[in-house]
């Protein structure tokens, strides 16, 4: 048998996997139907009617490529954020941007600092480009800013990842603490400040644009997937100094954005009244999830995201049993991947129908596990 491989040694060493198993795969593999899709941190309330109308109108032009410079979307975002278009890079969701950032900064063997148990897609990209992950544990279910800074200095790391609000725990730090952390970093270290959930968090958790906009080693990543309800459209953007933002043009897929997605994003930005409403809906759903958890003897953690992490009081095996048991009832949720975070389950905000299904199924699952 030939020992020849057409792939690089790095690719040969990597597992053929995905960071998350989708509900579609669970349906296929287990022969079950998802009735309440409250596990992927999507916005089950969906986009506004104005966005749906814009998508329908743009569909007739889908034979055209999108503007490779993303001029109109950059201009709209700049006006919305009070910055310049030159401060913005557009990508196919934050996941795409994370891969580009790692590619721009990391060579094989370079250390990359993150929290143990934080967003696994970032780790996926680091592994894909040969980086060496260096992690620090969460403290009280929050990412440890002091631990991250110590690791950056010890390793002389060129890249650090920090999400605020956090996935998978829903916790957050104040804007003042984040700005202090950013300013304490060596200028040789690029910080990814993942703000995917910034719209659903408290106002004092998001630094003002002016606080970080002049720092070339800070990249803020944001998305239309969460509060705006456009996860399937894949629209993300990065914010930094013009030099850092424009570096994406060296390696990005210039025709990666879809015209329909761009039209959806532009319409979503215009409909801020709907955004305010849906943020209220998400907050109310978080409260409902917390009540359902407490009514069943579980401990909901405070959350600034569109999901709630629920402490099940035992270990990852028990939490996994709850996740699997709920799926038997058609309720799709997820859980953090590593201990001690994996003592929790994670439930996304959803509609009243979703919450009713969760409320009915959870006590049955817990009773069966006794």
Distance from C-alpha of 178 to C-alpha of 228, rounded to nearest angstrom? 24
pLDDT at position 2 is 62
Average pLDDT (326-344) is 97
User: Predicted confidence band at 79 (pLDDT cuts at 50, 70, 90)?
Assistant: very high
pLDDT at position 29, please? 92
Residues of the chain with pLDDT > 90, as a percent, come to: 96
Name the fold adopted by 18-46+273-369.
3.90.1150
Say if pTM beats, i.e. exceeds, 0.85: yes
pLDDT grade for 98, boundaries at 50, 70 and 90: very high
The CATH code belonging to domain 49-270 is: 3.40.640.10
User: Domain extents for the chain?
Assistant: 18-46+273-369, 49-270
For position 5, what pLDDT does the model report? 82
Rounded-to-10 torsion of CA 345, 22, 130, 236: -90
Q: Taking residues 206-215, report their average pLDDT.
A: 98
Residues contacting 227, CB < 8 A, separation 6+: 43, 197, 199, 200, 275, 278, 279, 282, 306
Q: What is the pLDDT of residues 13-64, one digit of tens each?
A: 999 887 888 999 999 999 999 999 999 999 999 999 999 999 999 999 999 9
Asked whether the predicted pLDDT for residue 193 surpasses 60, the reply is: yes
Average pLDDT on 140-166 reads 98
């Amino acid at each position: 048998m030939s020992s020849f491989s057409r792939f690089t040694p790095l690719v040969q060493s990597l597992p053929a996997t995905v960071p998350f198993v989708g509900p579609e795969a669970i349906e296929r593999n287990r022969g079950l139907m998802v009735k309440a899709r409250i596990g992927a941190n999507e916005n089950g309330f969906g986009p506004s009617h104005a966005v749906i109308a814009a998508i329908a109108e743009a569909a007739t032009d889908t034979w055209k490529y999108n503007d490779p410079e993303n001029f109109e979307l950059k201009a709209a975002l700049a006006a919305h954020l009070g910055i310049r278009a030159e401060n913005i890079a557009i990508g196919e969701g934050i996941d795409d941007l994370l891969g580009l950032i790692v590619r721009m900064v990391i060579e094989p063997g370079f250390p990359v600092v993150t929290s143990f148990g934080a967003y696994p897609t970032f780790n996926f990209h680091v592994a894909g480009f040969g980086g060496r992950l260096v992690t620090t544990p969460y403290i009280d279910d929050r990412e440890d800013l002091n631990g991250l800074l110590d690791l950056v200095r010890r390793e002389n790391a060129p890249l650090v990842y920090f999400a605020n609000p956090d996935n998978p725990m829903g916790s957050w730090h104040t804007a003042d603490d984040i700005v202090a952390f950013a300013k304490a970093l060596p200028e040789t270290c690029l910080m990814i400040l993942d703000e995917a959930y910034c719209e659903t968090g408290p106002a004092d958790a998001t630094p003002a644009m002016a606080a970080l906009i002049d720092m070339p080693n800070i990249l803020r990543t944001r998305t239309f997937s969460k509060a705006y309800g456009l996860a399937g459209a894949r629209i993300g953007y990065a914010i930094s100094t013009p030099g850092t933002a424009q570096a994406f043009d060296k390696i990005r897929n210039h025709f990666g954005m879809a015209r329909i997605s761009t039209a959806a994003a532009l319409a979503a930005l215009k409909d801020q009244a709907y955004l305010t409403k849906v943020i209220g809906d998400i907050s109310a759903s978080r409260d409902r999830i917390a009540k359902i958890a407490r009514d069943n003897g579980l401990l909901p953690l405070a959350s600034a995201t569109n999901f709630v992490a629920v402490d099940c009081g035992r270990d990852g095996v028990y939490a996994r049993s709850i996740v699997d048991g709920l799926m038997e009832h058609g309720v799709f949720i997820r859980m953090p991947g590593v201990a001690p975070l994996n003592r929790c389950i994670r439930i996304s905000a959803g509609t009243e129908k979703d919450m009713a299904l969760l409320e009915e199924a959870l006590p049955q699952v817990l009773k069966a596990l006794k």
